Amino acid sequence: MSQAILDVRDVQKRFGAVTAAQDITVQVPAGAVYSLIGTNGAGKTTFVNMVTGYLKPNSGSISFLGRDITGLSPRKITQLGIHRSFQIAQLCNDLTVEENMLVATTIHGSRSPSLLRPAHSAEARDKVLETLERFGIADHRNRLIPELSGGVKKLLDIAMAMAGDTRIMLLDEPTSGVAADEKFPIMDLVIDALKAEGVTIIFVEHDMDIVTRYSERVLAFYDGRIIANDAPDEVLTDPDVQKYVTGVTA
Ligand SMILES: Nc1ncnc2c1ncn2[C@@H]1O[C@H](COP(=O)(O)OP(=O)(O)OP(=O)(O)O)[C@@H](O)[C@H]1O
């Protein structure tokens, strides 16, 4: 196994009487593609929120490239290179695709971001265009957000989350809000674009076709715990996973 880029040890998170994360231990190798599966309330988002600094664990540790990042702010964690996209695309409807991307580049590229100092340099615009091309959406660059399909919005949102130096990308349901016939093409573009940059990918997904096709390893969550951590075929045929997660009967 190559070096673990993310090392999560014995992490717990409680919300009052609810234990949202219990004994969470996992090492993710650099460059891997992991998916997180589990029913509603199983603890997937809590895991993502703890890794990205949106939630602080009650105990346990999270290390990134050997550095303890437990409890650091989301901004600090983003600066280190752990980025995320949300289930609902975070886009500004009044701006074009290119302008949204420029704003993201400005924010990620500056230590003290200000929307009053947009990145209008030719270099910034070239970088924006290059990124839009990599995600297959350069042709849409002059369109406003409400004119775009769900799939193009997703691609732009993930491209924007990639602005700056990304080492790990956490994607919350990358195919939600995407038409059925767009799902595989969108995932092909996303996975290829992120892999080409050597980014480690961790995505939350309910669609088992997507999980099987794109992840190298699957973490199955149930009741705040990881009940399986293996290759997709192994996890999806695991009797506990079938009983508690996928609802498939053997
Ligand atoms: N801020 C919060 N305050 C109180 N309880 C919370 C909070 N966030 C999560 N929980 C609880 O923690 C548990 C795990 O929730 P979490 O959102 O991590 O699940 P999930 O697997 O991401 O579910 P979904 O697929 O619906 O997004 C649930 O019981 C949830 O109600």
- Residue 219 CA to its chain's centroid (Å): 14
User: Taking the model in full, what pTM does it have?
Assistant: 0.90
Ligand 1 touching residue 43 (CB < 6 A): yes
49 close to ligand 1 (CB < 6 Angstrom): no
Nearest protein Cα to ligand 1, atom 22 = 45
Determine whether the shortest distance from the Cβ of 40 to ligand 1 is under 6 A.
yes
**pLDDT recorded at residue 249:** 66
pLDDT, position 50: 98
pLDDT at 104: 87
Helix/strand/coil percent split, the chain, to 5: 40, 25, 35
| pLDDT recorded at residue 250 | 56
Tell me which residue has its CA closest to atom 1 in ligand 1. 15
pLDDT of 126 reads 85
Residue 248 pLDDT:
78
Question: Is 21:46 a contact under the CB 8 Å cutoff?
Answer: yes
Which three-class secondary structure string do you get for 93-130?
A: CCCEHHHHHHHHHHHHHCCCCCCCCCCCCHHHHHHHHH
Atom 18 in ligand 1: residue holding the nearest Cα: 43
Report the residue among 14, 22, 40 best suited for mutation to probe ligand 1: largest number of ligand atoms under 8 A from its CB. 40
Quick check: 211 and 218 in contact, CB under 8 A? Answer: yes
> Which residue of 13, 18, 54 sits with most ligand 1 atoms within 8 Å of its CB, as the best mutation to test the pocket?
18
With a 6 Å cutoff on the Cβ, whether 56 touches ligand 1 is no
Can you give the pLDDT of all 250 residues of the chain as single tens digits? 456 999 999 999 999 999 999 999 999 999 999 999 999 999 999 999 999 999 999 999 999 999 999 999 999 999 999 999 887 778 999 999 999 999 888 776 654 444 545 556 777 788 889 999 999 999 999 999 999 998 999 999 999 988 888 999 999 999 888 888 999 999 999 999 999 999 999 999 999 999 999 999 999 999 999 999 999 999 999 999 999 999 876 5
- Does ligand 1 lie within 6 Å of residue 21's CB atom? no
Helix (H, G, I), strand (E, B) or coil at 166: coil
Write the burial class of residue 2 (CB in 10 Å: 0-12 exposed, 13-18 middle, 19+ buried).
exposed
C-alpha distances out from residue 239 to 21, 168, 204, 227, 242, Å: 22, 31, 21, 11, 5
Instruction: Tell me what pLDDT residue 145 has.
Output: 95
